[in-house]
Structure 1
Amino acid sequence: MQLITLTTDFGSVYPAAMKGVILGINPQATIVDISHTIPHADIRAGAFALYSVVPYFPADTVHVAVVDPGVGTARNPIVISAGGHFFVGPDNGLMVPAASSLGYMQIFKITNFGLLGDVSATFHGRDVFARIGAYLSDGMPLEKIGETTIGHIHLDFGTVEVEADFISGEVIYVDDFGNIITNIKASDMLKKFNFKEQVRVFRNTMPFLATYGLARQGELLALIGSHGFLEIAVNRGSAAKMLKVECMDKVRIE
């Protein structure tokens, strides 16, 4: 396996150090950036980004994911094996939705610190996770990296309530277009509402449409995004800015 993805909240500069480490260990690795603009310390937003794209990568891909407000503390560094993929990062739930979507998870606590060399207390993305990801991509077996463990931190996208006249959930991600992505799945939304029906969300009435271009320019709309969740958008605009909505805000569809 030679393919490695990176998902972090590091912004610029720091991901380059991770790539340098990876290529120093496995010069043949192909590195794909999923995102380095996850909102800082927003573990669930990082989990959603990873969850959204992992199904489109081939088996044997190594996914290095680091949104790690607990860096340097007692939280464990882990590798998750699931569905032929490998996930490397902190044990804070970040990788669980993506890994569990692929099937049975086997979790390894990283214990072979001889593979790491000097480890900064504040940059495990470079000194731990990038290195372990590179060794995995170069064919190192998991048994040489760590030991199996049962316990891990769970994370999901929250609870959705489906009632007779409304659905409630919460915002789990705001993308670069300003689209507000909720944890309400298409299957739940389509049980209650039909396309072209008017719905009320965030104190605004808007149409529930199949795609952005069916709304007028500047108009709010609700739709099912390509990720399979309900989102609130503005045709050629930012719904998040217009509505002043952020991750973890509650949402109610009526």
Structure 2
Amino acid sequence: MSIISLTTDFGDLYPAAMKAVILGINPEVQIVDITHSIKQGGIREGAFALYSLILYFSAKSVHLGIVDPGVGTSRRALALKAGREGEEQFFVGPDNGLMIPAARRLGNMEVYEITNKEIMLKSGISATFHGRDIFAPVGARLSKGMPIEAVGHKVSDFVDLDFENFGIDGSFLVGEVVFADSFGNVITNIPEDAVLKFRNFGSQVEVNGRKISFVRTYGFVGKEEALALIGSHGFLEIAVNKGSAALQFGLKSGSPVAIRVL
């Protein structure tokens, strides 16, 4: 059975319209909701959500990523193929960088502009809901085996996005928040290997001027005590045991983070 995943900032109602279109084209597909709770226009958050889960999906999965503040403008619609031969996965969404980190993580990325109107919704294209009218029907057809070349022509000048714009400045690791989850845990773009070059578990670090323990998991500190750890996604995470680091530290997606090695 083929799989289509959905990552959006839609909240309620609108994902159902996309699912109806998808199932009307491919009633056998399995739809997986990654999240519909990305903050409105949170392209980097949506990109991280997809990036963090992409390795767990099977070959031929199709991922629709719709966090699209530019809907209805001149921004392009894209379809991507990525992964080793025979294990490719597909991505469909706007040309704003949302899908690029996940596709690049799989390797062998190819990017196509969607221009073939024959594979879009037959009833017409709304200026405000390309998720339903373009991305859902294209994704559904890819899940049925349509060659990606059928969507349009290959492009190389797509909007890029990555999570690697962290730096090392003396005793500081400098990065940014890329995601704050529903527990209030704050995920940075500072990767595990960069942290472990300077610090071992059981030591302390200073986060934006505040000293906290660097440990393996939440239960190694007391209730409502702050900590730093390497999350399951492989990046440095700031958390509060049974509390919210986002609230306690005043951090949100895009906030700068300076980690001082003590």
TM-score category (smaller protein):
over 0.9
Amino acid aligned to 1:170: E
Determine which of 132, 139, 143 is the counterpart of 1:137: 143
**8 A contact 1:158–1:170 mirrored in 2:** no
In the other structure, the counterpart of 1:3 is: 3
Larger mean Cα displacement after TM superposition, 121-130 or 196-205: 196-205
Q: Residues 144-159 of structure 1 correspond to what in structure 2 (within 5 A)? A: 144-159=150-165
CA distance in 2, matches of 1:104, 1:151: 16
* Superposition deviation, residue 205 in structure 1: 1.2
Deviations 1:116-168 (A, max 9, x none): 22011000011100110001111111222212122211011252112331211
Q: Partners of 2:63 and 2:75 in 1: how far apart?
A: 19
Q: Which amino acid aligns with 1:108?
A: Y
Partner in structure 2 of residue 125 of structure 1: 131
Q: Which amino acid aligns with 2:59?
A: A
Gaps of 5+ in 2: none
- Alpha-carbon RMSD across the aligned residues, in angstroms, is 1.0
Match of 2:107 in 1: 103
- CA displacement at 1:204 relative to structure 2: 1.7
Q: Match of 2:196, as an amino acid?
A: L
Matching of residues 49-198 of structure 1 within 5 Å: 49-83=49-83, 84-116=88-120, 117=122, 118-198=124-204
Say whether the 8 Å CA contact 1:93–1:155 is kept in structure 2. Answer: yes
- The one of 241, 259, 262 equivalent to 1:253 is 259
Identity %: 54
SS of the equivalent of 1:148 reads: coil
1:64-96 deviations in Å (ceiling 9; x for gaps): 110000000111101010010000000110000
Note the residue ranges of structure 1 that are not aligned, 5 or more in a row.
none
Alignment correspondent of 2:21: 21
- 1: CA distance, partners of 2:155 / 2:249: 44
> Where does structure 1 differ by over 4 angstroms across 4 or more consecutive aligned residues?
none
| Greater displacement, 240-249 / 176-185 | 240-249
TM-score (norm 2): 0.95
Aligned-residue offset at 1:202: 2.5
Q: How many residues align?
A: 254
User: Within the alignment, does 1:226 sit opposite 2:232 as a pair?
Assistant: yes
